[in-house]
Amino acid sequence: MTRARLSRAAALAACAACAAPAALSCRGDADAPPPPAPTAAPAPRPPVDQVLPGELAEGVEQAFGLPIPRRMRVSARFSDAVFATGEISAERVANYVRTRVLAGRVETGPGKTIFAQATVKSAPQRKVRIEVVSRAHVSELVVRDETRPPPEPGLSVEERWRRHGLTPDGKVLDPTRLE
């Protein structure tokens, strides 16, 4: 091949390379397929059980705002106390309670954990005392309501003492009515 032919072939190849994209871009939009429509994938469903391994699930029963663990059953219910038992380790029950209350003082022993002067996060208006007791293979949960009744409005200090059977200096009003 001669030099003139090579330069002519190179020029032709360069023109073809430049003309191909230009020819493709000149097509009308009517021929172009529409972009794929974004498909709305269904949101993933949350798992049914969102409890971590080793953590206790909340049950449907409550004791003064504190949900009783699902694996425990209420054995006695009074106006000021609720007793629940279950075949769960006392340590797991104490950890369950610890995450749901704000305790003024926590006393931990080998067979018993006490949450004194506690408030349940879901019912902060109540003061409770919670005891978690280990008994063989069973744990007992005792929740006592220690909320004080509100004072009666309009009473003087002397009248409040008298309603409790005492004088303002703490002496008994009627010694014959002692119980």
Extract the tokens encoding 163. Answer: 């309603």
Extract the tokens encoding 117. Answer: 């002067």
Q: Is 29 exposed, middle or buried (0-12, 13-18, 19+ CB in 10 A)?
A: exposed
Which residues on neighbouring strands pair with residue 133, listed in sequence order? 112, 140
pTM above 0.85, yes or no: no
Q: Residue 97 in 3-state DSSP?
A: helix
pLDDT by residue (tens digit) across 67-106? 999 999 999 999 999 999 999 999 999 999 999 999 999 9
pLDDT band at 30 (very low <50, low <70, confident <90, very high): low
Q: 4 or 54: whose pLDDT is higher?
A: 54
